[in-house]
Structure 1
């Protein structure tokens, strides 16, 4: 049975389908436009963070939960740790894949890894790690546990 392609609110996507692959990587394709770059035509470092967050939100959606649902449960997933390693600059006009996967959960800490690669996956541009923590939106404090619906979605693995 074919998997319907989600409608996304960005014009930044290529035609390649968004999906969770066999090895649990979620792939989010982007095309570099002028507003993503510095004056030299190389992607500005903050753009990578935006793409990574977009990919993470879409990966969650592909698992069955909209980020807005998490927010409606009174939970926010905030970045508490971020590391990025730049291997090669991405230039205006190029198309790349933002590859992400959830690698570990420790209580309310959720660890994601990223690889930003060429469409053929031969060139590595950036590697990154992000740790999120579940925070109660009402009082701003770290939650003791994830909402059960969120934990259930994040702990199930594709068969």
Structure 2
């Protein structure tokens, strides 16, 4: 295990040293935390549906902020959703490219004041209407982590 992996694993296990590699779910959540936005997907009326969301990572969960006016939060609350992100637009030359996806139950949440602050400023408008946030949380139950250049996912994480 590399020093970076050990450090990441200690962060994921609450600071307790461990010689075990983080699980795919832990690694995926840690990598999601490296980005600010992702895409949430579910089915609506038996058809796939995908939308953009702002996210933060809190205690191994992914919290989402999205426009309430879109109404999508009603379809996702109580459903199993997939949430994914990547570093394709932020990778520098020579960086390992990666993508992650978690799948889990999505539920409405009421973030704390500190969590709301971590989301950063909300947009003023969404589709020309005043932005009113809806917050959802996903508890990862399954994850996939991929590296495009053939690097192991644990090496991609350290990169």
Q: Is TM (by shorter chain) over 0.5?
A: no
The alignment's TM-score, normalised by the length of structure 1, stands at 0.29
Specify which structure has the bigger relative contact order, considering alpha-carbon pairs within 8 angstroms and separated by 6 or more residues. 2
